[in-house]
């Protein structure tokens, strides 16, 4: 047998002791993890925990394994929203298929898991919009998915909204640029698969009342077309509008979760024509800013919320002291005096239910709710205490690696 792992592969050494010579279906149950939020796969997929980390193992042909390995590695290097690949095992005994190893996406959920948990705030339309954003991002990068579906997508909370990640890249083709026909075909495949998946949920009694699977699926194409138009269209405006109209367009793209590469302004008889090269680049501006100020690495929307709180805290410090406060000093003080006390307030039995940055975001939301009800600012400390006592215990415990490993024990 041969193993191929991506550097740094220090976390792969513990995997070498697993029985790679056996078919995945025959692995001892004691070696495996039950991950309830997993989706449906056409291949044999198993989950294992090694040295505190969870990995997904998928048995597929060697050619597909190498194809998916190379693509996922490239996606990660480019910051595209996809699962992180660790390695592959090939040349297994008795002409067995290869095994592709990916890292478990922390705090992620499948669409089936989301619909089976009615206490989780979501909707079919919300998940579809999130998946459409993912598809547009991939198409901008010249990626033809070929199997876009809810089953091949994982969802993760990011400051109260969902972000979507590609899970399966077997059918993916990479091109310098996709033609309109390729994009339309990919969208049509997605429409068919989403419709079938939602019908399956309805037959299983998991789809909320009032949701028409066909109607939702048929809305995918116009949702996609609207977003594609927004992120790629050219604009024409008067020369005297140039400054604020360009800034307005760039801010709108950032708000949608896209970064801007090159901006081209062409003067024509009609006016100034704006062309924007839209791309996906992680980490985004807010993530970079938060890391610079605090050293925290979180998702983009979470970072935006936390950066805003750092700025508000800096303004409070300056008002209190009557003198300017350097932003780096404000960032370090915010981390120690505001953020970390909230994280430390989480009791051990509730730790791991949500990412710390997501919990902090929810505490800020809870603080606003309590303050509105009280008619005054109740403060972060009181809001955190109330949140831990009354809100966090209602969050399902099956969405994180720590909880998955805990169940095994």
Asked if 124 and 196 sit in the same domain, the reply is: yes
- For residue 370, being part of any structural domain is answered with yes
pLDDT digits (tens, 9 = 90+) for 78-113: 888 899 999 899 999 888 999 999 988 888 888 877
Domain end residue (candidates: 103, 131, 165): 103
Asked if 113 and 213 sit in the same domain, the reply is: yes
Domain that residue 34 falls in: 2-103
Which DSSP string corresponds to 359-388?
A: HHHHHHHHHHHHHHHHTS---HHHHHHHHH
Q: What are phi and psi of 262, to 5 degrees?
A: -100, 140
Asked if 223 and 241 sit in the same domain, the reply is: no
The pTM score is 0.71
Asked if 166 and 238 sit in the same domain, the reply is: no
pLDDT digits (tens, 9 = 90+) for 161-208: 788 899 989 899 999 999 999 999 999 999 999 999 889 888 888 787
In the chain, % helix, strand, coil (3-state, to 5) comes to 50, 15, 30
* Inter-residue contact 249 to 267 (CB < 8 Å): no
Asked if 116 and 215 sit in the same domain, the reply is: yes
Domain end residue (candidates: 279, 314, 348): 279
Report the pLDDT value the prediction gives residue 279, as an integer from 0 to 100. Answer: 56
Q: Give me the number of domains the chain comprises.
A: 4
pLDDT digits (tens, 9 = 90+) for 206-249: 787 778 889 989 999 998 998 898 888 877 776 666 655 676 77
Domain end residue (candidates: 203, 230, 257): 230
Asked if 134 and 22 sit in the same domain, the reply is: no
- For residue 403, being part of any structural domain is answered with yes
Asked if 156 and 123 sit in the same domain, the reply is: yes
Question: Does the pLDDT at position 9 exceed 80?
Answer: no
């Amino acid at each position: 047998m041969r193993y191929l792992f991506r550097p740094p592969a220090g976390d792969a050494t513990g995997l070498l002791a697993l029985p790679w010579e056996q078919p995945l279906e025959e692995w001892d149950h004691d070696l495996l993890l039950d991950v309830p939020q997993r989706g449906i796969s056409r291949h044999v997929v198993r989950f294992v925990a090694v040295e505190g980390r969870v990995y997904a193992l998928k048995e597929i042909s060697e050619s597909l394994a190498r194809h998916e390995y190379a693509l996922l590695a490239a996606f990660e290097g480019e910051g595209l929203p996809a699962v992180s690949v660790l390695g592959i095992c090939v040349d297994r005994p008795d002409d067995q298929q290869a095994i592709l190893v990916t890292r478990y996406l922390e705090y992620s959920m499948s669409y089936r898991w989301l619909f089976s948990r009615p206490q989780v705030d979501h909707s079919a339309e919300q998940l579809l919009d999130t998946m459409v954003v993912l598809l547009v991002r991939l198409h901008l990068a010249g990626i033809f998915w070929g199997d876009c579906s809810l089953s091949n997508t994982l969802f993760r909370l990011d400051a109260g909204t969902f972000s979507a990640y590609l899970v399966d890249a077997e059918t993916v083709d990479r091109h310098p640029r996709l033609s309109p026909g390729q994009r339309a075909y990919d969208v049509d495949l997605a429409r068919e698969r989403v419709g079938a998946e939602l019908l399956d949920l309805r037959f299983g009694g998991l789809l909320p009342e009032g949701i028409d699977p066909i109607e939702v699926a048929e809305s995918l194409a116009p949702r996609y077309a609207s977003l594609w138009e927004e992120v790629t269209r050219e604009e024409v405006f008067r020369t005297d509008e140039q400054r604020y109209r360009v800034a307005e367009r760039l801010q709108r793209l950032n708000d949608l979760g896209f970064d801007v590469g090159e901006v081209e302004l062409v003067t024509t008889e009609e006016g100034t024509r704006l062309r924007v090269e839209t791309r996906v680049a992680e980490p985004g501006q807010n993530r970079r800013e938060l890391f610079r100020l605090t050293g925290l690495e979180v998702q983009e929307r979470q970072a935006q919320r936390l950066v805003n709180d750092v700025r508000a805290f800096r303004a409070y410090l300056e008002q209190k002291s009557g003198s300017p406060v350097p932003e780096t000093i404000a960032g370090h003080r915010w981390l120690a005096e505001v953020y970390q006390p909230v994280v430390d307030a989480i009791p051990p039995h509730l730790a791991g239910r949500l990412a710390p940055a997501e919990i902090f975001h929810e505490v800020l939301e809870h603080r606003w709710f309590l303050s509105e009800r009280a008619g005054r600012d109740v403060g972060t400390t009181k809001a955190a205490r109330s949140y831990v006592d009354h809100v966090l215990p209602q969050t399902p415990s099956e969405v994180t690696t720590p909880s998955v490993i805990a169940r095994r024990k």
